[in-house]
Amino acid sequence: MENNGKKLRKSEERKICGVCGGIGEYLGVDPTVVRLLWVLFCFAGGSGILAYIIAAVIMPD
């Protein structure tokens, strides 16, 4: 899978940490869609909260 020079980074347009915005920019989708999916993961067993914290620590600015 080729990423054409794109790098996964936190977004400058942040709501909390910029994780969802960065993922949306990387995938080429609206960050709002990523945020809504992340909220669904949070309600589905709470695994989304842990994943968000890990992504916020690991992803570069």
pLDDT tens digits along 8-55: 888 887 778 888 888 888 898 998 998 898 888 888 877 778 888 888
Cβ atoms of 51 and 41 within 8 Å: the answer is yes
Q: Which residue range forms the structural domain that includes residue 44?
A: 19-58
Domain presence at residue 4 = no
pLDDT for 52: 83
Domain presence at residue 26 = yes
Domain presence at residue 1 = no
Q: With 0.75 as the threshold, say if the pTM is over it.
A: yes
> 1 pLDDT band (50/70/90 cuts)?
low
Cβ atoms of 24 and 18 within 8 Å: the answer is no
What's the number of domains the chain is made of?
1
Domain presence at residue 8 = no
